[in-house]
A = this chain, B = another copy of it.
């Protein structure tokens, strides 16, 4: 009863290359799936570094040109971990070759580009997914369950922020392999596409679509030395980005992201306030969900800190015993497991490219509003 192989070809070996490789290597130890995940090929331009990466993680072959990778017969799924400006080209080529696609976020550099990517996978009818991994932190998934069970009732408010502090130092350069996130040509935008996009994906998953936004962005440090030119150059990305919005369900949203919030390494928090229940989550303690239940007896009401580590909580029966927490990397393992289950069952798991496009539409509106200084409608997917 051998399992059907699912042969992955990964493009990129940076930070995301590591998190994905770890997920592929681990998923079979913890999840009993219908396919066996095979780490078939790793691809990048620098052969030496690539070889070292492949050896370390157990990728069976290497490829230095992604165009060849997407044409290989022994590859079922292309995993795109490259900087944002190459997502579209690789994904469209992969779709044309009939490959399933796992694409890092944000999907495209902007909505119009992401539309083409969606069109390509729809035409090719290939499985597709975007790596908005935070949906699969068990505490966030538990939030989704409680919302879907109707426990919150009518929603009034949603607020989220993603706060970092690693670019405060003015001596930090921009560009190059490690710092492409500071170069708008490569990244598309700054924190809007990098951090806010995560907040938006989770928000729409939990609370539905966004109708309109008013936004502001800021670039605190105007010039930084560029790694490639060695010269001081204008910083082209947004260092901070915030917006107010209306959700389609009538609730109000507040979103903020920045890399200038001293003291926060990677603080993604979200809160949703419903008529009967409110929920809060925080990436710095990602194994906990805060729940306020108005149905509790009056004098005993309070915010519960739920340690999401029990077998009846999402994903946790696959791991250890109650009380023993998992971490960041496990969200990627869960995503791979759910992607494979989607193949097993024919019910694709999200976020799909369609979901990724929806998020790009919101970030487009945010960036536009920051320029026009007006409320902007968010384009809706038909």
Residues of chain A at the chain B interface (Cβ within 8 Å)? 15, 19, 21-22, 25-26, 28-29, 56-57, 142, 145-146, 156-157, 159, 161, 163-166, 168, 214-216, 218, 220, 240, 242-244, 246, 250, 252, 254, 256, 258, 260-267, 273-278, 283-289, 291-294, 296, 298-307, 309-310, 312-313, 319-330, 373-375
Q: How many copies of the chain does the oligomer comprise?
A: 4
In contact, A325 and B284 (Cβ under 8 angstroms): yes
In contact, A325 and B324 (Cβ under 8 angstroms): no
In contact, A242 and B242 (Cβ under 8 angstroms): no
A-B pairs with beta carbons under 8 Å apart, 22 shown: A25-B26, A142-B299, A146-B300, A156-B258, A157-B258, A163-B273, A165-B273, A242-B252, A258-B273, A263-B278, A263-B294, A265-B307, A283-B323, A285-B288, A287-B327, A288-B302, A296-B304, A298-B310, A299-B310, A301-B304, A304-B304, A319-B329
Given the complex of chains A and B, what is the CA–CA distance between A328 and B307 in angstroms?
13
In contact, B240 and A157 (Cβ under 8 angstroms): yes
B residues within 8 A CB of A321?
15, 265-266
B residues within 8 A CB of A285?
285, 288, 325
In contact, A261 and B244 (Cβ under 8 angstroms): no
Q: Which of B252, B313, B327 sits near A240, CB closer than 8 Å?
A: B252
In contact, B283 and A260 (Cβ under 8 angstroms): no
In contact, B254 and A256 (Cβ under 8 angstroms): yes
Given the complex of chains A and B, what is the CA–CA distance between A275 and B259 in angstroms?
11
In contact, A326 and B324 (Cβ under 8 angstroms): no
In contact, A275 and B262 (Cβ under 8 angstroms): yes
In contact, A277 and B256 (Cβ under 8 angstroms): no
Q: Which of B284, B289, B375 sits near A323, CB closer than 8 Å?
A: B284
B residues within 8 A CB of A161?
159
Q: Which of B263, B273, B327, B328 sits near A262, CB closer than 8 Å?
A: B273
Given the complex of chains A and B, what is the CA–CA distance between A263 and B159 in angstroms?
14
Chain B's closest residue to A57 (CB) is B29
B residues within 8 A CB of A275?
168, 262
Nearest CB on B from A95, distance (A):
30
In contact, A292 and B262 (Cβ under 8 angstroms): yes
Q: Which of B26, B260, B330 sits near A157, CB closer than 8 Å?
A: B260
Nearest CB on B from A167, distance (A):
11
B residues within 8 A CB of A156?
168, 220, 240, 258, 260-262
Chain B's closest residue to A28 (CB) is B56
In contact, A293 and B303 (Cβ under 8 angstroms): no
